[in-house]
Chains A and B, each alone.
Chain A
């Protein structure tokens, strides 16, 4: 019988992958139980990914954008720093999950309460968040079982654009010399996503709503 870590290491999911919450997968990799995945995901960890966006429907297309993202996982927090924006997901003792969107250009943090996420029809799967997200809708995944994260992940968007995530580096804990999510936003203004309806004029609201729509939110009947 293989150990949990061996099975994790060997798990390669090729199911479709949807970057539902901005690079977050939605399905337990094949051969990995929820409990095993959850146990591995509890270890505090930071990981850097190179994100390459390729125009055209195959890898020979031209690179139109390249970014470096920082994924940071703790027992009650999963966060991704994506350059100009961040997503910080938190889970409390009652299991309620909240989100903060950090918008650096607007120096604003948008708070999504558990109730607001539910009201928007968003169901959050914590164990999927801990593994960088959902595997639904992906073009391919190579799985790093020790980290319980994808080593390489490819998504085809609208049948035309490839987005590839390559794991560059990982470190346990919270590396002091990394630009981790949440570290730059202490002095930012805060907005409650419940208030968006009265604030369509606000650039931060427009930016956050745009990100929500990109993630498939604010469109009915989506689940994450």
Chain B
């Protein structure tokens, strides 16, 4: 062609794109083919599951998963978008519809009740059916309306069970597995009213037991089975006073127990679980625990919720991470040849979102993914079903047109219209930059109008993302959440699912 004196119009001096992904052109096709081949190798694994692990990221909506995936990748020095959180490598996934019997957008009580029992329930109620009256304090009514949980099924079949959370052990999500009560806030007897609907409640003959007491006084079969219970919420197990003297918290001497009945439920755990029972409340004790010699472990690492993962290193007494608690729990439960059911909750994703603080929520999510990774690496997919999901979502959004690799916590910077042009913050209608992450409502609302964030460290740990509607606390949201699964019967997690069907997958996997 050159001999014909013709030339091809190639802009030889064209500038290179400022933003570049890591992939070659061939990579896209190769990755797609790998995915197809992996899918073809999948076959339903219909064997019974010896073990089931249910991971719940409280409030971990899909936007939270996406942003956490990007942040994890960026923290590792990559662009981030191509990263996958541990559970995103599981072979099966579905969408979960999270409405409850009486809520379009639900709280954690009926959503975990749905997963734990197979029944959608009412706002604020734990593992009782939707015919239960609000505020019902009668023990007999709560008992009659109780729904058996997957943990109780597992216990009855002779398996070991465990519960791990970074929230209080008596908080809604973990409590739905062992407690049956019409009101989630009745975590200690001091939180129960003297009267409920005119009927004596707190400490009354025939009154429903508070949640902490229900954990200690579970049925004999669950008492034998429940080998691990770790999280926060120490105060709900401690008496307000001993012989008239305030019972001080071991970590925070000015704090005291919340039990009005004077009972020391921690001591009762030790006396009712046999000689191999143990209780730990700080990092040193946790690390020193001999799982081979311990039969029943209670860990209560904070008076209320455990520290955020982002703040954990600053805790005075020290406390384990969610992944460390998951590891310790598996060491305990894997001693049982009959198998186990384990629930692991990242309870504080939700709290950080409520505060409008995205970075803490995402760090919690990354730690949650680390805990799942530990479980994936230390269990056999042939005999262990692992399900990872959320109870509900939040109003958390990923917005604008940020370029590839743009700091997920930073200001939106679009791909420049001209290759070679520098990246610059995108501007709103008033000429102000804005962040990629935000909330539809919550404390991040700026009452005086949008601020100029040009010189603000939006990636700072305490930065509150902007919110459209001013609310003291950001709220849950009603869109679907994801379910990920691997192991026996994991293929039953598919398509669009009602949240309560997760229970049925687990029960079918166990063969109950």
Contacts and interface: CB of A to CB of B under 8 A. Distances in A.
A39 B428 CA distance: 50
A120 B316 contact: no
B476 interface: yes
Contact of B311 (A93, A115, A120, A221): A115
A92 B357 contact: no
A179 B75 CA distance: 52
Contact of A119 (B168, B191, B308, B475): B308
Interface stretch (A25-33, A46-54, A127-135, A188-196): A188-196
A159 interface: no
A92 B464 contact: no
A96 interface: yes
B292 interface: no
Nearest to B451: A221
Contact of B254 (A90, A116, A220): A90
Most chain A beta carbons < 10 A, residue from B108, B348, B354, B470: B354
A interface residue count range (under 10 / 10 to 19 / 20 to 34 / 35 or more):
35 or more
Contacts of B184: 198
Contacts of A195: 171, 351
Most chain B beta carbons < 10 A, residue from A123, A190, A210, A213: A190
Interface string B254-277: 100010100000000000000000
A142 to B, nearest CB: 31
A94 interface: yes
Interface stretch (B328-336, B405-413, B440-448, B478-486): B440-448
Interface string A199-224: 11010000001101100011111000
B316 A116 contact: no
A197 B354 contact: yes
B290 interface: no
A118 interface: yes
B197 to A, nearest CB: 17
Interface string B458-498: 00011110110010111110000000000000000000000
B462 A92 contact: no
Nearest to B254: A90
B472 A119 contact: no
Contacts, number: 107
Interface string A138-174: 0000000000000000000000000000000000000
Nearest to B312: A115
Contact of B463 (A121, A123, A198, A200): A121
A84 B351 CA distance: 28
B305 interface: yes
A111 interface: yes
B443 A199 contact: no
B260 A118 contact: no
Interface string A73-93: 000110000000000001011
A212 B356 CA distance: 15
B314 A96 contact: yes
Contacts of B235: 190
B129 interface: no
A220 B107 contact: no
Contact of B464 (A197, A202, A212, A221): A221
Given A198-B172, A212-B472, A220-B443, A120 B355 contact: yes
Contact of A219 (B171, B353, B357, B443): B443
Contact of B443 (A92, A192, A210, A218): A218
A76 to B, nearest CB: 8
A192 B304 contact: yes
A202 B447 CA distance: 24
A113 interface: yes
A190 B308 contact: no
B171 to A, nearest CB: 8
A96 B23 CA distance: 46
A113 B252 CA distance: 11
B152 interface: no
Nearest to B260: A187
B461 A92 contact: no
A197 B352 contact: no
Nearest to A189: B191
Contacts of A111: 304
A192 B305 contact: yes
B254 A118 contact: no
B360 interface: yes
A196 B473 contact: yes
Given A194-B304, A220-B445, A209 B472 contact: yes
B307 interface: yes
A119 B357 contact: yes
A75 B187 CA distance: 33
A198 B107 contact: yes
Contact of B473 (A118, A123, A209): A209
B190 interface: yes
B81 interface: no
Contact of A218 (B350, B463, B472): B472
B168 to A, nearest CB: 8
6 contacts: A119-B351, A186-B240, A194-B304, A194-B305, A194-B348, A198-B172
Closest 5 interchain pairs by CB? A197-B354, A209-B472, A218-B443, A197-B473, A220-B464
Given A198-B476, A220-B464, 12 more contacts: A114-B314, A116-B351, A119-B462, A190-B235, A194-B305, A195-B171, A196-B473, A197-B355, A197-B475, A209-B473, A220-B356, A221-B464
